[in-house]
Structure 1
Amino acid sequence: MEQPTSRLHLQRRDPSRNMARFYCLSLESSLFGDAVLVREWGRIGTLGTRRLDLYADAVQAQEALRRLAASKFLRGYCSVG
């Protein structure tokens, strides 16, 4: 069975629009056992913004990661490393 993705690093670059963005998604667990989807985004070279979304279990968090990644790929982001 395929191992679920636990970390994804995306970038979107468009020099004609002076655009250089990153978007990182990772799955972690909280101290209380909740599944946490960590989202970080911003301009490449900056610290950016960080958001934590709590889920009852890892399956729900993995599904949220999959949905967000799909929407970012549609917007032109590409996987890095």
Structure 2
Amino acid sequence: MSNSETAPLHLHRIDPDRNMRRFYALAIQPTLFGGASVVRNWGRIGTAGQSMMQTFDAVGEADGALSRLARSKRRRGYRDADTNETS
């Protein structure tokens, strides 16, 4: 597996004017049958949030789905959690 598959992606969206503090986490986990699952976790920062798992037959399909989800969230204003941005 490549580094993008093993390293989870943590995004956040913080807008104090709208009282918005959200997170979105994405990770790929292997399945027992050679496929891969995209695990999503989202919610308000400071809570456990909600989770969803989507399973694919091939790791490449899961990698593509993770990339599409990350691109979609970034278009909606989510940023990498490790960057120090002030909004």
- TM-score > 0.5, shorter chain as reference: yes
Aligned pairs, number: 79
Percent identity (aligned): 47
Q: CA deviation at 1:31?
A: 2.6
**Alignment gaps of 5+ in structure 2:** 83-87
TM-score, normalised to structure 2, is 0.85
Higher strand residue share: 1
Give structure 1 regions of 4+ aligned residues with deviation exceeding 3 angstroms.
none
Partner of 2:39 in structure 1? Answer: 38
Partner of 1:65 in structure 2? Answer: 66
TM-score, normalised to structure 1, is 0.91
**Alignment gaps of 5+ in structure 1:** none
**RMSD of Structure 2 on Structure 1 (CA):** 1.2
Which string of whole-angstrom CA distances, capped at 9 and with x for unpartnered residues, describes residues 7-27 of structure 1? 100000000000000000000
